[in-house]
Amino acid sequence: MTIKVLVPELGESVVEATVYEWLKNVGDYVNVGEALVTLETDKVDVEVGAEKNGVLKEIKVEAGTDVNVGDVLAVIDEEAEAAEAQESAGAEPVEAETAKAETAEPEAKKEAETAEAKQPEQSETDGRERVTPVAKRLAEDKGVDISKVTGTGSGGRVTKQDVEAYSEKQESQDAPKPDKQPEQDGKAPVKTADMQTVGAEKQAVPLPPKKQDGREERIRMSRRRRTIAARLVEAQQTAAILTTFNEIDMTAVMEMRKRRQDEFIKRHDVKLGFMSFFVKASIGALKAFPQVNAELDGDEIVLKHYYDIGMAIGAEEGLVVPVIRDADRLTFGEIELAIKDYVQKTQEGSLSLEDLRGGTFTITNGGVFGSLLSTPILNPPQVGILGLHKIEERPIALNGEVVIRPMMYVALSYDHRIVDGREAVQFLVRLKELIEEPEVLLLEG
């Protein structure tokens, strides 16, 4: 009996994927749950496993092909035996292999003991991959032998930066040195290969100079990058996006962080950052102006009385927005721990579809990259996104005097079909009030 391997449900709003890599070949025997193929979606990579034991009889879709939920990826022959699979792949019968193994057992045992004696102590990365998924993929694309790369990540794991550094070092070592040729009459000689003939006299005319190696590089867009591009264009074309700005004096929050940092770390085992303040302040402003925490569904406005806050994080393969669920019910410590966990998962490429599902409002912090001012783009179907920027000391007028204060520009992009300018401006005013008086923010929870 044959079993079809189908593209599974990929999560909310995800209906398409790209076949990234086949982990098994035709003729391989597979067990239930064993990964057959990796699918690349706009959010995360998904491994599709075998639902039955059997032999991988046929692969229907090659790597690099786009597929939809429910499409047939491969066929498994449930009745085939492991021996048949090996024979179809050109391997020796199982009986012959067994006899050979029994004959070589004494020597293999001796070699294994020798190898075991030479092995170093197990590292703390045992039990998991010593290379992050993104680094593994990059190494395959660049043709880098991952076993030769020294890992600098947690527990010695190989990261994307390690692979890039190794690849650049190899390229610099392997780069050919230009051949020196004697010049004639002060001009560089023209090679025959760079000439073309014109007319009956076969007169030599120099061809346009060829582009030097390495000046251009073509990279296939990943599924995530293509989806990000499509969604951003869709947001621009379907929503009436406007942006309003304000500035916030960060003095009070910075002083509170300085006073409470040590105690906070002892209690929660994580630093008190700025993001938890802005998550809480955003929720306070969203409660005051619920239209910013809404969604447009046809001719209806869906007001959401829960607060799932998306945190935009710059990942190696494109922006991702993991969601902090019911953030209004979380403490400052729980929010900081959630953010720390998402950042770590993003770096390791281990975010799940559940981590990215939904969201009612998004916060993006360009300040970590040095951005002073920007206009963030909506994350559909959300109708509001808050942009944070770098803190910079600037002179401001305060109580009739000019003083130097740490100031931050904030931006709210909103869908004008639902949110009016008055509400957007007042949203930022309320946000400013809560950040500049963090005691009120703490009292309101």
Where on the phi/psi map is residue 299: left (φ > 0), alpha (ψ -120 to 50), or beta?
alpha
185 is annotated as an active-site residue: no
| Cα angle value 308/311/316 (rounded, 5°) | 140
Q: Which residue among the candidates 262, 305, 326, 416 is catalytic per the annotation? A: 416
* Tokens 């251009």 sit on residue: 216
Structure tokens given for 187: 């001009």
**Residue 391's beta-bridge partner residues?**
408
420 is annotated as an active-site residue: yes
Helix (H, G, I), strand (E, B) or coil at 296: strand
Helix (H, G, I), strand (E, B) or coil at 278: helix
Q: Which residue among the candidates 28, 71, 194, 420 is catalytic per the annotation? A: 420
CB neighbour burial string for 243-282, b if at least 16 within 10 angstroms, e if fewer: ebeebbbbebbeebbeeeeeebeeebebebbbbbbbbbbb
Which helix H or strand E contains 244, and what residues bound it? strand 241-249
Query: Nearest 5°: phi and psi at 216?
Result: -130, 150
Structure tokens given for 354: 């559940």
Residue type, 297: D
Helix (H, G, I), strand (E, B) or coil at 168: helix
Both ends of the chain: CA-CA distance in Å? Answer: 60
**Of 445, 306, 301, 269, residue with least CA distance to 383:** 301
Catalytic residue numbers read 416, 420
